[in-house]
Amino acid sequence: MSTQPDYGIDAPGVIRNLFLASAFGIAVALFAPYWVHLGPVQLNLHASAWGMGVGCGVGGILMLVYAKVGKFRHRDRMLNLHDWRGDERVLDVGTGRGLLLVGAARRLTTGHCTGIDIWNEEDLSGNSLARTQENLIVEGVAEKCSLVSEGAQKMSFPSESFDVILSNLCLHNIYNKPTRLQACREIVRVLKPGGVAIISDFKHTGEYEQTMREAGLQVERKMPNLSTFPPLRIVLARKA
């Protein structure tokens, strides 16, 4: 077992494709003058290729910076939105390799954290229940945490089970809109009265806000965090 936690690279396939597109664009920009001699068409091709190469490369670098630095800061931003007592029952929806789960567990004394996921490696490199459990052990919070393999759209927990529900970059991976909204309603169902849901994502946050507001929660949608890439918004929802 490693002596250091490893929280993986988010969306590794997207980052790989960005760097491949960047390499292709730069290659076209460099060698197009030798392939074609079409006047203005050649100039447009050259400029477009450079634009694609640089843009995709910068995007890939920014996503790597988020994976290695930015997501730790964003985690703290999310957790600081709740005034922790230490006895909370916490649910992390789409826990991945446990970054939010560990952060929440460190703020507990008598409370307990539960993380659910289907552990898809397309969403996070090396994503698995075993590696998440390893991170919990290395971080010294395993006794405060439980892991459950299940999707967000149909949770096995009784209604009103959790004081705090967390989720970052999870719900957008449910591509079917009715199923995605059902996951939002499940979050509402398992949240205790007086509890708070802190949901972060780079898209569909307006859907999350509307669905939770329609369910009777008091909802606030924060401004995008421009220090992350892509910029992430937080939906803060409280249950009366």
Question: pLDDT tens across 9-23, in order?
Answer: 999 999 999 999 999
83, burial (CB in 10 Å: exposed 0-12, middle 13-18, buried 19+): exposed
DSSP-assigned letter for residue 17: H
pLDDT at 82: 97
DSSP tag of 90: E
pLDDT score at 33 = 58
What pLDDT shows up at residue 28? 81
pLDDT score for 36: 53
Distance CA 147, CA 144 (A): 11
pLDDT at 193 over 90: yes
Does residue 156 carry a pLDDT above 90?
yes
Question: What is the rounded radius of gyration, in angstroms, for the C-alpha atoms of the chain?
Answer: 21
CA atoms within 13 A on the CB side of 207: 18
Question: pLDDT digits over 38-76, tens only?
Answer: 545 455 666 788 788 889 999 999 999 998 999 999 999
For the residues 184-206, what does the mean pLDDT come to? 98
Task: Indicate the helix (H) or strand (E) that contains 232.
Answer: none
Judged by DSSP in three states, 110 sits in: coil
More confident of the two residues 178 and 227 = 178
Mean pLDDT of the chain: 92
Q: Please determine, looking at this structure, whether the domain spanning 73-238 carries the CATH number 3.30.365.10.
A: no
pLDDT (mean) for 180-191:
98
pTM: 0.89
Q: Evaluate if residue 35 carries a pLDDT over 60.
A: no
What does the pLDDT average to over 122-149?
95
pLDDT score for 50:
79
Q: For the chain, which residues make up each domain, given as ranges? A: 12-72, 73-238
Which pLDDT belongs to residue 26?
A: 87
| HEC secondary structure over 141-195 | CHHHEEEEECCCCCCCCCCCCEEEEEEECCHHHCCCHHHHHHHHHHHHHHEEEEE
